Structure 1
Amino acid sequence: MTSQDIDMVGHTEDGRRDSSLRLDDQLCFALYAASRAMTGVYRPVLDQLGLTYPQYLVMLVLWEHEASPVKELCAALQLDYGTLSPLLKRLESTGLLRRERRVDDERSVQITLTEEGAALRERARSVPSVIERAMGLSSDEFVALRSALHRLTAVLTATAELR
């Protein structure tokens, strides 16, 4: 079937329905809906920590590495500078991190956890298990889903880079 065989309302010339144009058949929509639902599960848990979901992601990187140049944070979170910068400013204003120009390269900004930011890690330790329980997946299903999503991201990123 060619694109010419499909009219604007998602039917073939012979009147059969083209299921590829149904919303529920779209992988992109399934991922979008799952992402929104996942963020909704995180919201009340993170509210107790005083964090939004994007701020939580920043903190995860810093809890793992303690400090990071902004450029590396952008890469780790797959965000551009314009998106990340307001998140960092907000986290700095709440006292969770510091932004400082690097002594060895003043063009680079180093992000460092404050004592308060480091202490928040202990309060956040239960977040992953709360989310895993809310998902209702077995450990094997959880690992398989995460692996499939990592593979999908890698393939789509490589495809986008080829354009």
Structure 2
Amino acid sequence: MRARACLVKVDDQCHDEAKPAAMKRDEKNVQDLIVYITENMTNPFHVDNHLRQLINISTGLHASHDIEDLLLKSVETGRTKMKIFVESSLSTDKAEIVRQLSNEHVIDLPDLFCSHEEADTRILLHVIHSDKIFQQLSKGGRIIVKCSDTDVLVLCVHYFKVLVSTEQMCF
């Protein structure tokens, strides 16, 4: 204790962990751990113990054939499900009309004129204007509104019943 507090000068300091008793204790603990692992756990790399079955290395239990098939085919199943999701949710048979805007053809859109300060209601003006375009083309359409503001969602739900030619509104 006095040596730790530097009250006594010790020429040869030795940590407690390096003393023979501690070394013997640590070696016994390591050997006990090795014995436990070799007796109670299965070596996943020892092929003679389990030729073709999947095995839990901590319990030594073999996986059933159903679980084995599920795990071995999980990558293929994931790819198939992703393909189905993309084809059913992210793509459509209907081609979208996309037009480029340029400075050569500038037109006034009185439907979009307003004195609103809030962007929420301005977005709805664009929605209503798009619905009028669908009416003029005698087509049903889909309007996609991308906005993180929940006020806009509430306004879209409210005004959807007013839209005549809009078949679908996505938010």
TM over 0.5: no
Structure with greater proportional helix content: 1
TM-score of the two chains, using structure 1 as the length reference:
0.23
Look at both structures and tell me which one has the larger radius of gyration over its CA atoms. Answer: 2
Q: Which has the higher contact order (CA 8 A, sep 6+)?
A: 1
TM-score of the two chains, using structure 2 as the length reference:
0.23
